[in-house]
Structure 1
Amino acid sequence: MSAVAPIARRLALVLGPLLVASLMASPAHAADPRSPARFTGYAFDTCVSPSNQVMDAWNVTSPYTVVGIYTSGNSRYCDDSKQPHLSPAWVKRQANRGWLFLPIHVGYQAPCFDSKSTKRHMSYNGTLARRQARADADEATRRAAYFGFAKKNAVYLDIEWYDRANRPCDAAVLTFIDAFVQRAHKRGYKVGLYSSGSAAIAAVDEARHAQRKGFDFPDQMWFAWTNKRANTNGGPYLSNTFWKRDRVHQYHNNVAVSYGGHRVTIDKNVLAVGGGSRAKKEQKVCKMSPTLTRYRSLKAGSRGKDVKLLQCLLRRAGHKSTITGRWNARTTKAVNSYRTDLGWARNGAATRPLWTALLSRGKTPIALKRGKVGEPVHRLQRSLRAAGQKVKVTGIYDARTAAAVRSYRTRVGLPGYQVADATVWAALQRGRR
């Protein structure tokens, strides 16, 4: 990779000063590296793990929340000698910034795999193939732990395409997968199987349909089918009978894409694992839901549930207000005090911009994007609704939320990404609509 200008100067030119601040800021809290558990969204994988600068830029400009990293295996092309950035410290840093990971193990390949390849081949002999699989599983889980992935995370076994017409070869691959999964499970890790849809994926799916006794099946299926369709439909290779809630689709390979001024050649993936992203329980304020169908303008004489919510939010923001559901003198004083904090005129009115600012108050994650869940997502969706965007308050950063964020960004003069970063939160907390 060619030399680049210092990251702060480069991103200042491309993305703007507020975004640079979001990239340079320390994360709100430390996070342990994790593979996706309950998640719906997008992932990319690339041979050489990108630099911290590229990952930071992609974090706030790309739709990707998950990155595939090549952590182990005797058949890795991008082994440690070709990885200038990948390290436990790199993984920890990216985890702190919200990234999830697919730790990939590329070990023994099918015995009938392309003979011109330098990749190691598993044995046709079942006993030896099992021994090789156990050794691979030991290496995969040991290296996963080295990079900071605790037990209960997943490691991903990469079995490249092979010709299933060679029946002894197909049988050897199934034997190998069985033993690998059994050993990894024993060591406390889940297993995702990566392969071409027409190769090991189809073989394992057929084995499960045949109710193959004593077989240890993978927890997730990661199928390569480059139909350029971002869904988890396995088509002719992976039926909808099994792994409906635990699959990854690699749908576009070896494509150069650019985000935040950084161009990388990647494989594109879409995920739905663990049943997909699930909303967490909405946090109430003053024993009431802060989600309203609409956030109307309020003034002296107003009364109702929305007045009570306004009073509660003003108190939480540090402005004295009695919570009665009826607009009183203290409400006017609290509203004017908050408007002063925002640099606005003291007109005693709770307008839609004021609602937008109030509802968006709180901790601001570095980047919210597809698949994310939790209180910040609820808060983002509520404040976007107050700002006039059509979005449901679900607590899940879904396609509609991504579209609403892009629309809002465009409306307030920000680059049209789908990510809610520091620039979005800053605009919302200023009440911009």
Structure 2
Amino acid sequence: MTAPATTPTDPTRVDLGLRAVVITTVVGLLAAVLLALPSHHDDKARTMSGSNPVTPGVFTGLGFDQCLAPSQAAMTAWRRSSPFRAVGIYIAGYSRACRSQPNLTSTWVAAQLAAGWHLLPITLGPQASCQPRYPRYGNDYRISAKPAGDYAAARSMGATEASKTVSAAKALGIVPGSTMFYDLEGFDYTNAGCRESALRFLSAWTVQIHKLGYRSGVYSSVGSGVKMLERQRLSPLPSVVLPDQLWLARYDGKANTSSPEYLSDAGWAGNRVKQFQGGHSEKWGGVTINIDRNYLDLRTAPKPPAPPATPTPTPTPAATPPAPPSAPVESHCGGVKVDLPAYVAIKKPTPTYRPPMDQVLALKCLLRERAGFRGVVGNGFGPALVTAIQSWRKARGMRVNAVWTRAMWMELLASGARPTLRPGAVSKDVRDVQRALNAANLSAHLPVNGTLDARTQVILRLWKARVGLKPGGVVAQSAWRLLAAGRF
């Protein structure tokens, strides 16, 4: 993103759009395996995207952005080692520096969302009419400053760009309800025609984004685009619609979303992102990337505006598709919840530590069902559970203590004779795969529905890459063995 506000020395200057990513370490088994996944928008990739969550969703914390989408190996290394959990990606716009995005596919998007990343899709299309650095290529354009029809030409350009963006988002598996951010680089705020045409462009962008079922976001310098939008919020013109989320560029080095000189606290509260540090290289997990740093404060998640209703004929009962197959409903230990979004290590309580009760109850119930535990399930982490854990560890040659680890969860959930499972399989064994993957990957949060569906296959592929198995959505005997061995 390149967003100087009004002067060359403005502290809000950003220059991501002109930079390329620098990655110094992209080798290893994980990269080799994941690069074998489909790299094009094939039918399988589109199917995988169907269960993707809305993005960026509700999130407070650090993020980064850079022009070129990093490789899968880089994203995996940074997910493990860095403080970042959000990443900006350029998905559309003829004016972006990274027109070619070799890593950015629907498979890549699904994998990042499954790993817990919050994605901020960015479009860098037509820029303000007074922006001197554009057009960049000659076949990209600046926003029309013709005032006729309340800047009708600019509005038309904004609506067109929104439609292109949503098409790109859908091809990547980014689902409706997600926020599409328009990158409006810094411009001369005092140029009235430039400013007002840009405002109408963004208004039309927002209106069209809403019609297509997505949320609208705008990135810009606090001294130009943000100032312009805040002015509209405080003194609204009836013909202008504001975006849902605001991403401000303010290089003050402060990891917050504040810029009181340009934006009051009431403006877009709970719906802000701030780019607070410009281009620099950071190294995490052995991988160096040149990034901008951001802080996200996205605490509200209003429903996106519904697209206009389209009358459709009422289907006849014969035309109603059959319900997809589902695994039989299970009940455990009189109603104990054993299907958890994550299975974490727990130990005997101490004066400063209390194990999560849902983990304790699930463990005692599963031990009763699978390992002959005879203690009372509902009385907490008591002596009977301590004895059971110590016996389990001793039988496996482990150090005898009262710690139950993630690897032990995996063994409990995946051991025993198991069938080979193929994509689409529906059974209680699939439930155990999903549970074991939730122990292996604490960010997976797989629904334990008993169906080897697209989302489960994404998490399965990521786990296989980490443990050195061949990629694919099949749970063969080799996979069962490593799950039961607690490999993650």
Aligned partner letter, 1:73: G
Matches of residues 28-427 of structure 1 in structure 2 within 5 Å?
32=52, 34-80=54-100, 83-114=101-132, 117-118=135-136, 120-125=141-146, 126-275=151-300, 295-296=348-349, 312=365, 314-315=367-368, 318-323=371-376, 325=379, 334-341=388-395, 343-344=397-398, 353=403, 363-364=438-439, 366=441, 368=443
Give the CA deviation at 1:262: 1.1
- Give the paired residue count: 342
Give the secondary structure class of the aligned counterpart of 1:364: helix
Deviation at 1:69, TM superposition (A): 1.1
Q: One-letter code of the match for 2:230?
A: D
Deviation, 1:215, is 2.4
Task: Give how far 1:68 is off.
Answer: 1.1
Change (3 A) 1:374 1:64: farther
Does structure 2 conserve the Cα–Cα contact (< 8 Å) formed by 1:314 and 1:335? no
Structure 2 partner of 1:416? none
141-150 or 309-318: bigger deviation: 309-318
- Is the Cα contact below 8 Å between 1:33 and 1:100 reproduced in 2? no
For the residue of structure 1 that corresponds to 2:61, the secondary structure is strand
SS of the residue corresponding to residue 248 of structure 2 reads strand
Whole-angstrom CA distance in 1 between matches of 2:397 and 2:64: 43
Q: Is the CA contact 1:221–1:248 (under 8 Å) kept in the aligned structure 2?
A: yes
Give the 3 Å change call, closer, same or farther, for CA 85–340 of structure 1 in structure 2: same
Q: 1:321 to 1:257 in 2, by over 3 A?
A: same
Aligned residues of 1:312 and 1:321 also touching (Cα < 8 A): no
User: What TM-score results when the alignment is normalised by the length of structure 1?
Assistant: 0.67
Taking the aligned partners of 1:104 and 1:97, their CA distance within structure 2 comes to 20
Question: Does the CA contact (< 8 Å) of 1:33 and 1:148 recur in 2?
Answer: no
Instruction: Look up the equivalent residue of 2:259 and give its one-letter code.
Output: G
* Cα distance, 1:183 vs structure 2: 1.0
Q: Which residue of 1 aligns with 2:29?
A: 8
Amino acid at match of 2:260: G
Alpha-carbon RMSD across the aligned residues, in angstroms, is 4.2
Give me the whole-angstrom Cα distance separating, in 2, the residues matched to 1:110 and 1:219: 21
3-state secondary structure, aligned to 2:403: helix
How far apart are residue 289 of structure 1 and its match? 11
Give distance in 1, aligned partners of 2:406 and 2:67. 43
Contact 2:57 2:118 in 1 (8 A): no
Task: Output the amino acid matched with 1:58.
Answer: W
Matches of 1:258 and 1:60 in 2, distance apart? 12
Moved over 4 A (4+): 1-5, 20-25, 284-291, 308-314, 324-333, 354-362, 372-375
Q: Give me the whole-angstrom Cα distance separating, in 1, the residues matched to 2:364 and 2:111.
A: 40
TM-superposed CA distance for 1:374, in Å, is 10
CA contact 1:314–1:338 (8 Å) conserved in 2: no
Normalising by structure 2, what TM-score? 0.60
